[in-house]
Structure 1
Amino acid sequence: MVEVVGSGLSIGKRALPDPLRVVVADDHPVILFGAEHALLKFPGLQVVGRARQSTELVKMLQTTACDVLVTDLAMPGGQYGDGLQLIGYLRRNFPTLPIVVLTMLENVALLKRLSELGVTSVVNKSDDLSHIGLAVQHVSRRIEYMSPSVKASLDALRMNSGGKGDEVMLSRRELEVVRLFVSGMTIKEISEQLNRSIKTISTQKNTAMRKLGIDRDSELFQYAQSNGLLNLSSHSSADMGGVS
């Protein structure tokens, strides 16, 4: 006999815990389906919402009870932006909500910024999708979880601390300027997009290049390509906002 006890169920004397309610956001339908399918393989996880861009996501979080959010990092097309801008907004407006970030990037500067924003779990889409469910289970208990390739990148950073690895740590604003520049925007267009002066944008770009030991724009594009920044910048730059 099954009877309702409070918010859960009990069978005889054994109580069944409430499922973890998960919202999944990704602008690619295939990834969205794959992430949901991977989550449903884990007992005790329930997908309660799906979103394709930030406007849908924020509205859903405002109206749907959610225990953990799984969200893509590069997800343009919404009024709240994507990338670091969106994560920063979510952390400010839903400070207690655990977030699992999905990305194709392994750039250590970006991983460091996500950590500084309070993200404790990053899953690379190139890793097995089962890591999404593992990440949800961990962050729901406030335990950090990084998928294998992300962990390898962070371990390499820690091993190189005190050497060149420290020199490539771009600030959040510098990284955003680099992202937009390699996406094809001019300094003037970036200044208008981020509502900063041309001089400020130029200074932030030059500072980033100096930290990276880069002298020419062509080398900056090569750096962006080798570190995955072009993947994040491949969407239309008009859909990207600044980082507040």
Structure 2
Amino acid sequence: MNLPSLPLADDAAVATASRRIMHEHDEQHAALAARNMTDTADLAAPVRVIIADDHPLVVYALESMLVNYPNVQIVARARSVPELFEVAEQHTFDLVLMDLYMALPGELDGPDAIRAFRAGFPHKAVVVLTMESEASVLRKAIDLEVNAVLSKRDRIDLIPVAIMSAMAREKYVGPVVRDLLTEAARAERREEVSRLLTRREYEVITHYAAGLGVTEIAGLLGRSVKTISAQKCAAMKKLALSNDIELYRFAVECGVTQSEQT
């Protein structure tokens, strides 16, 4: 089993450190995008963008922000999927900045709309904006070869990061979407662990992940040290873990802690 290379720290500290690192990463990329998209205005043709969103305030916010970048040119706007296809046929463009959901009844929407657009305009970059929080839907959107997916809860100044990445044909996933996918993966792994282990084995490793030793767990649960040790060993065997360090890292990576079970 491939195990995550995590330091021996509690899961809250790991999560906090990870969010801080990713936040700093996004801050640096936002600054780089702003600098590059301004400084290179005289060196390259502007990125021609279609904005597709059925919320006028979102369109206004995007336009108000992108107007500050000289090498971005908004060539058209669309408020529905049919209108997006119409303006895409009428204009020369490089990238579409599109909402995931903007359909009227009976129209294509979500991943289906993206799939159709990618089929019709296979060489154009696609940046998806969404309020979607369901991990399975977000994964479908990412798997459809879009260049970037951001939540509308992300900072708006990350849009230039997404555009810069998309034009370089690099994949970009915004921090809110990353967090949603990470937590969904952790939840799925917790469910898998709970299926593999008995209730008592699961209970033991949650306390172990919280930092308690075998003797402390035995006292807390009113069982013998021998019983707790046997249950921990049984859990490790089922999870293909060979030592306590691997068990701790596995539990932290999965988010298996006693606080999440209460």
Length-normalised TM-score, structure 2:
0.53
Distance in structure 1 (CA, Å) of the matches to 2:70 and 2:113 = 30
Query: Structure 1 counterpart of 2:135, which letter?
Result: V
How far 1:77 moved relative to its partner? 2.8
Aligned with 1:16: secondary structure?
coil
Aligned to 1:87: 114
Q: How does 1:113-128 map to 2 (within 5 A)?
A: 113-128=140-155
Q: How does 1:179-194 map to 2 (within 5 A)?
A: none
Aligned to 1:145: 172
Aligned to 1:30: 57
Q: Rate the CA distance shift 1:44–1:68 in 2: closer, same or farther, 3 A.
A: same
How far 1:26 moved relative to its partner? 0.5
Query: Structure 1 counterpart of 2:132, which letter?
Result: L
Which ranges of 4 or more aligned residues in structure 1 deviate by more than 4 Å?
Answer: 158-163
Q: How does 1:49-198 map to 2 (within 5 A)?
A: 49-77=76-104, 80-159=107-186, 162-164=189-191
How far 1:116 moved relative to its partner? 1.9
Distance in structure 1 (CA, Å) of the matches to 2:163 and 2:125 = 8
Distance in structure 2 (CA, Å) of the matches to 1:164 and 1:27 = 37
Task: Looking at secondary structure, tell me which structure has more strand per residue.
Answer: 1
Aligned to 1:217: none
Where do 5+ consecutive residues of structure 1 fail to align? 1-13, 166-244
Query: Structure 1 counterpart of 2:166, which letter?
Result: V
Aligned with 2:63: secondary structure?
helix
How far 1:161 moved relative to its partner? 5.8
1:2-57 C-alpha deviation (Å, 9 max, x unpaired): xxxxxxxxxxxx96310010100100111111112222223311111111111211
How far 1:160 moved relative to its partner? 5.1
1:41 aligns with 2:68: yes
Aligned to 1:197: none
Task: Looking at secondary structure, tell me which structure has more helix per residue.
Answer: 2
Q: Rate the CA distance shift 1:17–1:79 in 2: closer, same or farther, 3 A.
A: farther
Length-normalised TM-score, structure 1:
0.57
1:16 aligns with 2:43: yes
Distance in structure 2 (CA, Å) of the matches to 1:145 and 1:86 = 20
8 Å CA contact 2:80, 2:104 repeated in 1: yes
Distance in structure 2 (CA, Å) of the matches to 1:38 and 1:159 = 35
Query: Structure 1 counterpart of 2:121, which letter?
Result: F
8 Å CA contact 1:55, 1:79 repeated in 2: no
Distance in structure 1 (CA, Å) of the matches to 2:105 and 2:96 = 17
Larger Rg: 2
